[in-house]
Every structure is written in C-alpha cells, then in structure tokens.
Chains A and B, each alone.
Chain A
Amino acid sequence: MARPKKPAKTSVPEGPALAKAATGIQGLDEITGGGLPRGRPTLLCGSAGSGKTMLAAEFLVHGALDYDEPGVFMMFEESAEELAQNLRSLGVDLDKLQRQKKIALDHVHIERNEIQETGEYDLEGLFIRLGHAIDTIGAKRVVLDTIEALFSGLPNHAVLRAELRRLFRWLKDRGVTAIVTGERGETSLTRFGLEEYVADCVILLDHRIVDQVSTRRLRVVKYRGTGHGTNEYPFLIGKGGIAVLPITSLRLDHQAPTERVSTGIHGLDDMLGGLGLYRGSSALVSGAPGTGKSSVGATFVDAACQRGERALLFAYEESANQVLRNMRSIGVDLGKWQRQGLLHIDASRPTLFGLEQHLVHMYEMAREFKPSVVVVDPISNLTMDKEDRSLKPTLMRLIDFLKQQGITALFTSLTSDMAADVADSQVGVSSLMDTWILLSNMAANGERTRTLQVLKSRGMPHSHQVREFVMGNGGVDLVDVYLSGDRVLTGTARVSQVAQEQAANELRRRDHDRRIKELASHRKAIDAQIAALNAQADERAGEVAFAIEREKLTAEGASARSRAIAQSRDVPPPGPRVLAVRPTVRKGAK
C-alpha cells in the first residue's frame, strides 16, 4: 500500500479550527483539508462494491502505521479472515498488526433465526465489546462496517435506532475518530437513514458505469465546521490502495525552471528561441493523421535518452514493439535506450480502463520510473467519447502532477484534417499547455507537404513561420525556410525552385569557366608572340654584332695595310682618323 509521508498540510491550526485526523489516503486529505473530523464519527455511504470497506480499512491501517493511532475494526458483514485477505492483496499484513496490538478486529455476527426476542433489552453488549476493544489497544480510530446489518438482525427497530443514537453519542464521548459505513438508499443517503445520527461529516462513494467503463467517484457531501472540496472526485482502488485523484488544480504553485531542454529536432529548437522547451513545461503536438506526431514524440524521447535522462512513453495506439520498429525506420533507435533502462514504453489500449484509471496508472508509473520526460501518444485517444468533458480536468490533473514533479511532458493529439477545425477542437486542452506545435498537411499542385508551426510557446520568443517538416532515414528535421521573392516555398515547389536556381547557377558557373579559359588561352597566345619577338630580336642582335665585328676587322685590315705601305714608302703614318663608316645598330628595328 502506498504510504505517503506524513503530509505537511496539517497546517489547519489547532484550537478554534476543527482538529482533523489524517486518513493517509492519497488525495482524500487534500479534499478534506487534512482528514476526517478528529474525535467524531464520519458517515461513509455508497452502494455495494463502491469501496467503503476498503477506504475504512485504509483509514485504520494508515492510522496504525503512519500516525501512531491504533484502531478497532468492527465488522458486521465480512469476517475477520475475509478482511485480512482483502488487505493482504494491498500488501497489508493484518495479522501482524493485530499481534502488535495496533489493530483490533471484532466480527459481529447476528443470525436472525437464532434469536428470539422477549421483553426489553438494549445493545449494551455491543458497547461493551467496542469499549473493551478500544481499551485493549488504546484505539484512537474506530470503523463500524456496516452497522446497518443490525437492522436485519434485530427485529425491534425502535430500540435499535435509540441505541444507535446512543452509540454515536458514546463514540464522540470516547473521543475516537470513527467511520461508520452505510449502504446507499433509494431516496436517502443510507438505507436506514444513518445520516440522521452522524451529522458531522458525510462522504459519498459512487460507482458509475458510463459507456461500459466504470469510474469510482467520491464526494464530501457535508463537513460541518470546515471547508472542503465539494466536487465529485474520481478515485481508484489500485495496487497501492485507494487513491483519490488529487486536486492539484486547486493550487498553482509548481516551480518554473528556466533550464531548457532540446526537442531533438534542431529546426524546432531554433524556432523555440534556439533552445527548445523549458524543463517541466508541457507541450502539445497536434495534427491530422499522418502528420508525424508520433515521430516528434519519439524524437523527443530519443533526445532525452541521449542526454542520459529517463523517459516514459505512453503509447495508446501502437504496441511497444511496433513503436520501436516504426521509429527505427526514421533512424530513431529507441531499442537501445530501452535496453539501457532509460526508456520505458507503456503501451495499452485506451479502452482498457476509464480515463481516471489511466491517469492513476500514469501517476503510478511516473512515481515508480521517475522519468524526466513523459510522452503521451496520443491524449485524444484516451477517451472514446469525443465530447467527454472529463478529459480536460483529467489532463489538468496530469499536467499539474507532472509539473510538480518537474517532468517535461509532450502530448500528441489527433485533430481532424479540416484546417478550420484544428484550432477549435483542441482549444479546451491547448489552454493547459505551455507550448503548442501544430503539424499540418498542405496539399497543393497534386502533392502533400508536412508543415510545422509553433502556435504558442509561453515565456520565450518563437518563430511564427510555417516550416516544412521532413522525415527520412536520418530522423525528423525541419527544412530551412526557403524564400523565393516574398513567398515561402515548400515541397515540390521548393524542389523545382531549387532545381531552377541550381540550373541557373550552373549555367553561370560554366560561363565564368569559359571566360576564364578564354582569357588563359589568350594570355598563352600573347606569351608565344612575346617569345617569337624575343627570338627575332636575339637574331637581329647577332647579325648586328657580326656586322660590327666584320667592319672592325675590315677597318683594322685597312690601317694595317696603310701602315705597311707607309713603312715601305717611309712616310710617317697618318694620325688617327675617324672611320668613314660608323655602323649604327638600332636594336629592335625591323
């Protein structure tokens, strides 16, 4: 049995305010503001099978184990053995509690046909038995389940009623906190009008079947001298005992961390101010069938596991294996996280239980697994009835619970394909969410394109663009915004525009190449010309040098000859004279 720690909410001041005895039952103490009226009897009524005995028994067990208040369980219908068996299924060892003198059981059994009545009598025997049991273990709590059985056992109802009145007075005088159970009557709260005697606190249990799904509900009909939640609250008898769904929506006091977590989709993170979601916030991903909601959810889980965080995935449409297989097809391998114990996939049919029971199941799973990320895929499937008004309060409770635990949650929700309805149909739920991501299909030019937009995201700047959303082998991502002129292009339009632009680019590139090549060959031609001219110049220079040499030699020959002639004629040689021909070389001339 889940035994919550002593709630700190015994903040109800002692003294003038009513003292209360905590029941230790999840949720009930919150509704009643601390528990049942201490030292007074409380009437617990409901039809057969509504959980009266279980609630009463838990009240005693919690009292004995958690609040050091021993209790007496006086039963008129079940035997002690049967009760012990029922409680054993919740993990309570009643025999041990009895041995430890924390709980005393007394089975009052009356057989009408064994009893003959003659003359006056009273029920002092019952008082003595109860008093003895209380004194033996020092009981502070008493349960009478169901005292109405006396009406069928004792013929004289006048005496019985007088004695019951005395009994309840007596219980008050003893100062024990008592639960008296009663069977639900046709017109009154209890079949024999016990509410007449027990006027301080009346709790009604109800077991209703709506659309073949049963839901247990609890309502505090009356609680004299104190405020209390007046609504009908769903409750469950689970493996942890009774859990009344907490009304956390009464209080909005959860923490608001500023830390951000990635959604696993880079493009989406970018749209959400570049950082992703706030930790502990809740996001709704809604969209028509086939828009990729589950893939977004799986990617989110994958990202959390990659960070080494624990993730819990509630799948209401696919089995765990199916989820693993399908996500592998887009390159998200959840199987390894599951093997590492980071991921738990909880797949069930939504029709398996009622909405409330799903909720409690989620609570229990979340408490057990302690994830930092929870994905529910999808919430729209949790209720078969589309108009189910209980979806919103149930989700509110779940969201509040997750927020208080600091768990980041992502819910997917199926909407109809009609674009106009999208905003309407989810308004009820979306107001609870911090971030709302809408996936939609855009059909144009004979083609369907997935798009993603962030409709809202509290507390962060976010992109208002409609982005194209693609799923491939490499997972889920957003395509960069493709602007052409003043239009955002998606799908084939984007692809063809891209192709067109690519072609244009290619053409231009080739043109450039061509021009560069042309330039290069031109340069080569010039270089060749330069080489040829150089060669020509060299040639000419050689010719000139040769001519000069030749002329020099000729000149030297002439002077040598004239000297020889002068010597032979003995004429003094003539003075130096200027050569008549001076060769001039104009280099480079043609």
Chain B
Amino acid sequence: MNAHKSSAKSRASAHAAELAEKALHEEQPEVPEWQLRLYVAGHTAKSIAAFENLKRVCETHLAGRYSIEVVDLLVNPRLAAGDQILAVPTLVRKFPEPIRKIIGDLSNEERVLVGLDVQPRR
C-alpha cells in the first residue's frame, strides 16, 4: 500500500492529502478491506465537507479496515475519465467490488452507508 499512498500524495491537493495521509497512517492495516477514492476539484468547501464527512463515517463504521485516496482533478484531470467522473465530489468504492459511486458532499450518513453497502455498527 505504500506505493498507493505515495501516489495519492503526489496527486492530491496539499491539504486534503495531508488529512488523508494522517488518517491512513493511524488507522490502516496492510491491505485494507475497504478501498475508497474521493474525487474532488480543488480545495472547495464541498470537497472539505465531503472529506470530513467521509472520514467520520469510516471512523464510525469501518475503523481500521479502510483506506481513502483523495484525487484532485484540478491537479490530475487525466484521472477523471478513468472512473467516469462527472460530478464532484464523487466517492468511488474501488473495493470490495462491484464499484459503487456516491456523488455529493456525503452529508447524509445513512445514504453514504447505503451507497457503500456498509452494515452500520451499532
């Protein structure tokens, strides 16, 4: 996963990437069960909100079993086509398959869980 992380670092915008980096370092096992990728466009209120909302959900329900890669399309526009990104922010569940996408700032936790198909931890 190191390669993955470093590539994420190079791609992501500074702030979001740092946040992600910290999260990954603290919580991640070697091969995380949940691999998530968050596409944003620049450092906007929506992207920050999306990242924070995502992090909160993951911490609550998937603690220690996830990795988040943040892709800033303003830095890497090439990557938008690969995952068929139209809307930002878009969260892509790369693993477990099948790929699922959630668009929006992820403010509704319930829908994020439904979208990711995560059993809420109560």
Contact = CB atoms under 8 A, between A and B. Distances in A.
Interface of A: 106, 108-110, 114-126, 128-129, 131-132, 150, 153-154
A150 B105 contact: no
Interface in B7-36: none
Contact of B101 (A115, A122, A131, A132): A115
18 contacts: A114-B98, A114-B100, A116-B101, A116-B102, A118-B102, A118-B105, A119-B49, A120-B107, A121-B87, A122-B88, A123-B86, A123-B88, A124-B87, A124-B88, A125-B90, A131-B77, A154-B87, A154-B103
Interface of B: 39, 41, 46, 49-50, 53, 73-74, 77-78, 80-81, 84-90, 98-108, 111-112, 114-115
A122 B87 contact: yes
Nearest to B98: A114
Contact of A118 (B39, B84, B88, B115): B115
B40 to A, nearest CB: 9
A552 B106 CA distance: 180
A262 to B, nearest CB: 66
Interface centre among A117, A120, A123 (most CB of B within 10 A): A120
A308 B104 CA distance: 75
A353 B73 CA distance: 51
A107 to B, nearest CB: 8
B96 to A, nearest CB: 14
B101 to A, nearest CB: 5
Contacts of B85: 125, 129
Contacts of A131: 77
B47 to A, nearest CB: 10
Contacts of B41: 124-125, 128
A116 B103 contact: yes
A-B pairs, top 9 by smallest CB distance, nearest first, are A116-B115, A132-B77, A119-B104, A119-B105, A119-B107, A125-B85, A118-B111, A124-B41, A118-B108
Nearest to B80: A129
By secondary structure, the A interface counts as: mixed
Nearest to A154: B87
A120 B105 contact: yes
B80 A132 contact: yes
A378 B49 CA distance: 75
Given A126-B86, A128-B77, A150-B86, A121 B46 contact: yes
A473 to B, nearest CB: 75
B11 to A, nearest CB: 13
Contacts of A121: 46, 87-90, 103-105
A81 to B, nearest CB: 15
A128 to B, nearest CB: 5
A120 B106 CA distance: 8
Contacts of A129: 77, 80-81, 85-86
Nearest to B47: A124
A104 to B, nearest CB: 10
B80 A116 contact: no
A124 B86 CA distance: 7
Contacts of A116: 100-103, 111-112, 114-115
Contacts of A153: 86
A118 B73 CA distance: 20
A131 B84 CA distance: 15
B73 A110 contact: no
Contacts of A109: 84
A230 to B, nearest CB: 37
A118 B111 CA distance: 6
Contacts of B86: 108, 110, 123, 125-126, 129, 150, 153-154
A109 B84 CA distance: 6
Given A125-B85, A128-B73, A120 B99 contact: no
B102 A125 contact: no
Nearest to B40: A124
A144 to B, nearest CB: 12
B77 to A, nearest CB: 4
A413 to B, nearest CB: 59
A119 B54 CA distance: 12
A157 to B, nearest CB: 13
Nearest to B110: A118
Contact of A128 (B80, B101, B106): B80
A117 B73 contact: no
**Residue among B73, B87, B104, B106 with the most chain A CB within 10 A?**
B87
